[in-house]
């Protein structure tokens, strides 16, 4: 759709296992500035069951929003030895501007809940019981931000829950940033079981800020890992191993 056009989903979008490279909703534009409206909005459910799928996609001049549920359950192919390959799913692929709340679940190796090279914010509802939940399973990573100017900022406080369940893969992280990407998650709840790390940063001017957050890590790697150039801020954070 164009810069001034929009597609809103209030019901259910489902794509079965028999397809690959499916996309739930997408916004592309021929403009030169980021749209001032939500070009794609999901208040319902997006359920994609095939590998290499994208729940919601925005290009660099488009804007998206989710308050509903997104689930990508596709798995990679199985080789003759029984090894499961990469799923390469992305819940939200954002190059422009995106606001996320609600629920997001993504499965499989080389998959990401939110893959961000633009500007993304994480929110939560105003009711006391409202939560924003991101779950990554079987090798997937919860949040991934890459590139100069790319930011993911949570305004959800302790209403944000990020869970990683690596299964037998021993891969995946809760939060990953590289190449000057920046991720700010104050007072968030992060729980990683079996992943390669809890959070990780690579490259100079890259930053993950977990001020006041709780990070639980049960695995063979590191709760918080930097290559020596990336920065991780853990002021008043609680790390449980």
Supply the pTM of this predicted model.
0.96
Q: Report residue 208 CA to chain centroid gap.
A: 14
Closest C-alpha to 133, from 186, 191, 218, 75? 191
Name residue, tokens 């090279």. 117
pLDDT (tens, 9 = 90+) of the chain, 241 residues, equals: 555 679 999 999 999 988 889 999 999 987 788 888 999 999 999 999 999 999 999 999 999 999 999 999 999 998 888 889 999 999 999 999 999 999 999 999 999 999 999 999 999 999 999 999 999 999 999 999 999 999 999 999 999 999 999 999 999 999 999 999 999 999 999 999 999 999 999 999 999 999 999 999 999 999 999 999 999 999 999 999 9
């Amino acid at each position: 759709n164009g810069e001034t056009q929009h597609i809103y989903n209030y019901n259910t979008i489902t794509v079965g296992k028999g397809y690959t490279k499916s996309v739930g909703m997408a916004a592309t534009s021929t403009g030169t500035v980021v749209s001032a409206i939500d070009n794609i909005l999901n208040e319902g459910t997006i359920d994609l069951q095939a590998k290499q799928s994208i729940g919601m996609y925005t290009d660099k001049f488009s804007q998206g929003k989710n308050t509903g549920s997104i689930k990508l359950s596709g798995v990679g192919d199985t080789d003759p030895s029984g090894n499961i390959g990469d799923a390469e799913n992305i819940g939200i692929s954002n190059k422009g501007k995106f606001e996320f709340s609600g629920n997001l679940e993504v499965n499989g190796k080389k998959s990401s809940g939110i893959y961000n090279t633009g500007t993304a914010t994480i929110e939560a509802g105003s009711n006391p019981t409202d939560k924003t939940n991101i779950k990554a399973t079987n090798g997937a990573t919860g949040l991934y931000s890459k590139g100069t100017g790319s930011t993911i900022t949570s305004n959800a406080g302790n209403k944000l829950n990020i869970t990683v369940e690596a299964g037998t893969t021993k891969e995946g992280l809760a939060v990953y940033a590289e190449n000057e990407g920046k991720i700010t998650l104050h007072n968030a709840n992060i729980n990683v079981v079996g992943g390669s790390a809890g959070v990780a940063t690579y490259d100079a001017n890259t930053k993950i800020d977990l001020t006041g957050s709780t990070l639980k890590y049960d695995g063979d790697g590191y709760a918080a890992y930097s290559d020596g150039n990336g920065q991780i801020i853990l002021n008043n954070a609680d790390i449980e191993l």
